[in-house]
């Protein structure tokens, strides 16, 4: 059993019964409440880098326009609580108070061009390391 109490400015999550499912739910609720507090006070941020020749991003109204080497531009509608900033046409900064929606939107953008291991092209999270592979070797 889990109990949540509010006293003045603090919110306390207590574990009453020490069963396996209760300890898992205790950690889940504590983390969800912590993420809500951090999201409102600081906002979460995800940065995406576009790596590739001709890869560009721009914002038109409530749409994110991506040129990713296809024959057509990719148009993605921006959800309500997410703000998008474009730096140097190749860096996308996403900010939101909802960590779950922010991560889902970032993965939706990234799914258009996953990073490939041979040339390193694609949409890459900031700080992500892509393991590079050697190309095929010629005949001897």
Residue 20, pLDDT score? 85
Q: Report the number of distinct structural domains present in the chain.
A: 2
Residue with tokens 């950690």: 27
Residue from 75, 69, 82 nearest 109 by CA: 75
Residues 15 and 79 in one domain: no
User: Pairing between strand 63-67 and 91-96?
Assistant: unpaired
Q: Is 32 among the domain residues?
A: yes
Q: Is 135 among the domain residues?
A: no
| Burial class of residue 22, CB neighbours in 10 A (0-12, 13-18, 19+) | middle
Residues 32 and 73 in one domain: no
Q: Is 136 among the domain residues?
A: no
Residues 23 and 73 in one domain: no
Residue from 82, 37, 35, 74 nearest 54 by CA: 74
- pLDDT tens for the chain, 140 residues long, are 778 888 888 888 888 888 888 888 888 888 888 888 888 889 999 999 999 898 999 999 999 999 998 999 999 999 999 999 999 999 999 999 989 999 999 999 999 999 999 988 999 999 888 888 888 876 76
């Amino acid at each position: 059993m889990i109990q949540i109490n509010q006293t003045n400015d603090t919110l306390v999550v207590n574990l009453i019964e020490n069963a396996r499912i209760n300890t898992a739910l205790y950690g889940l609720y504590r983390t969800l409440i912590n993420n809500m507090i951090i999201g409102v006070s600081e906002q979460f941020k995800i940065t995406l880098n576009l790596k590739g020749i001709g890869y560009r991003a721009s914002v038109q109204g409530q749409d994110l326009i991506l040129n990713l080497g296809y024959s057509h531009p990719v148009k993605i509608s921006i959800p309500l609580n997410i703000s998008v900033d474009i730096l140097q046409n190749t860096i996308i900064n996403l900010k939101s108070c909802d960590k779950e929606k922010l991560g889902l939107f970032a993965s939706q953008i990234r799914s258009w061009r996953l990073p490939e291991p041979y040339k390193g092209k694609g949409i890459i999270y900031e700080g992500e390391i892509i393991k590079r592979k050697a190309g095929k070797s010629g005949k001897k």
